[in-house]
Amino acid sequence: MPKRKTTFNYEWTTEFGFISKSRNGYYYALCTVCHCDMDIGGTGKIAIERQAASAKHKTNTRSAGTLSVLSYFCPSRLSQDDKIMAADLCKVFHAVKHYQSYRSVDCGVKVDKEIYSDSLIVKGATCGKTKTKALCENILAPYSVETHLEYIKEHGLPFSIATDASNKGATKCFPILLRYFHFEKGVQHVLLDFYSDNKESSKAITNQLLSKLETSGLDLNKVSAYTADNANVNYGKHNSVYQKINMAQKNVIAANCLAHILHNTTKFATAKMDIDVENIVLKVNSYFSISAKRTAQLKEFCEFVEDEVANCNLLQHVVTRWLPLLPDIDRMLNCWEVPKSYFQSIGEEESPKVLWKCFGDEGNTCESSEIYFSFLSHTLKLFSDTIERLEVKTFSITSVFKLISELKSKLDRRANYRFLALQ
């Protein structure tokens, strides 16, 4: 079994005032006097002692003492190249901060050269799309991550980890996010890594998470919670990512996605209804979207019923999440008479069976369908409002408990009083 490498220890900076964290990784230390990196992965503190005892280090230490006196009376000035580089980094940081594209940085620099033509810094600035990407990925991003990691390790802070998967062709992309509490800035979020992998098994995800934490020099025992969506691969009872992490660290909390829980609650609850509302919404949109002739006829019925709200722009439902169905239901209710009149006019033989039962049948089936739609319109609003409040940028466990308790209380009151909002 290979020997575990020694990582940089911030307590060494008290004993050896000339060292600091190296940009080459956690297995190196930087000598600020000699401006060189020391490999501490194998020998650890011994490598620093050897550096301090070397003749080169002693000579540089004496020279540094003389230079420090001179620098007090003659402060150094940034060169023109340093100022230009600082301006380029400032432009890139501004673009990232405000979610702007790399192309906008290139365009902005060209505009600045026209406006501030007398500035030597602007004249020397060249921040095209390729350079902007390089500065962001190779300088700003590593510096940002390193700053957060140093603060976490320096204060021994607990942190939670979060991940998710998104498809990019045949490859899965996984971001790894850290969340911790900063004593001065409050709750902080850090994008630790963003890797691609075509494997999405619980074993592969767990190995990647533990590997990234070890590479970053973070202590697994400081992990307080694991956050992901409610897929079985993340929170299954047996062979899931959470179970595997919990085997390595017993005190990890399962911080499930509450929005996803509410989505699943409404989806499985409405599955017990006599009609499939989601299927009806999809069928209506599919029936009219594939035919320009049917859409034109639908517009004629809008004019016939003289409904100003019924503008015939039926919303297309996205099946990724269930609660976004609420706007589709509201739109359908607002123009209910339009599809009802349309399908009754073309008859049962020309209408899809599902849509005829919902709109065409003049008996109890059509009336009950409208009641179901109206019931869901009012009930889903409670869940939708709760999810919007859960999706804020910052919140605490106490506020989450309050929101879920309020939602449960509202549902209990409606059930106890048998309240059904139908209009």
Question: Could you report the per-residue pLDDT of 159-200, keeping only the tens digit for each?
Answer: 999 998 887 777 788 999 999 998 888 888 899 998 888 888
Per-residue pLDDT band for 316 (boundaries 50, 70, 90) equals low
Regarding predicted confidence, which is higher, 22 or 241? 241
CA distance 286 to 423: 27
Q: Which residue has the higher pLDDT, 367 or 264?
A: 264
Q: What are phi and psi of 335, to 5 degrees?
A: -120, 35
Which one is predicted more confidently, 89 or 288? 89
The pLDDT tens digits of the residues spanning 409-418 come to 998 998 888 8
Residue 133, pLDDT > 70, answer yes
CATH superfamily of 158-256: ATPase, nucleotide binding domain (3.30.420.40)
Looking at residue 157, its pLDDT comes to: 92
Give residue 305's pLDDT.
62
Question: Does position 73 have pLDDT exceeding 50, yes or no?
Answer: no
Q: Kindly report the three-state secondary structure assignment for every residue of the chain.
A: CCCCCCCCCCCHHHHCCCEEECCCCCCEEEECCCCEEEECCCCCHHHHHHHHHCHHHHHHHHHHHHHHHHHHHCCCCCCHHHHHHHHHHHHHHHHHHCCCCHHHHHHHHHHHHHHCCCCHHHHHCCCCHHHHHHHHHHHHHHHHHHHHHHHHHHHCCCEEEEECCEEECCEEEEEEEEEEEECCCEEEEEEEEEEEECCCCHHHHHHHHHHHHHHCCCCHHHEEEEEECCCHHHHCCCCCHHHHHHHHCCCCEEEECHHHHHHHHHHHHHCCCCCCHHHHHHHHHHHHHCCHHHHHHHHHHHHHHCCCCCCCCCCCCCCCCCCCHHHHHHHHHHCCHHHHHHHHHHCCCCCCHHHHHHHHCCCHHHHHHHHHHHHHHHHHHHHHHHHHHHCCCCCCHHHHHHHHHHHHHHHHHHHHCCCCCCC
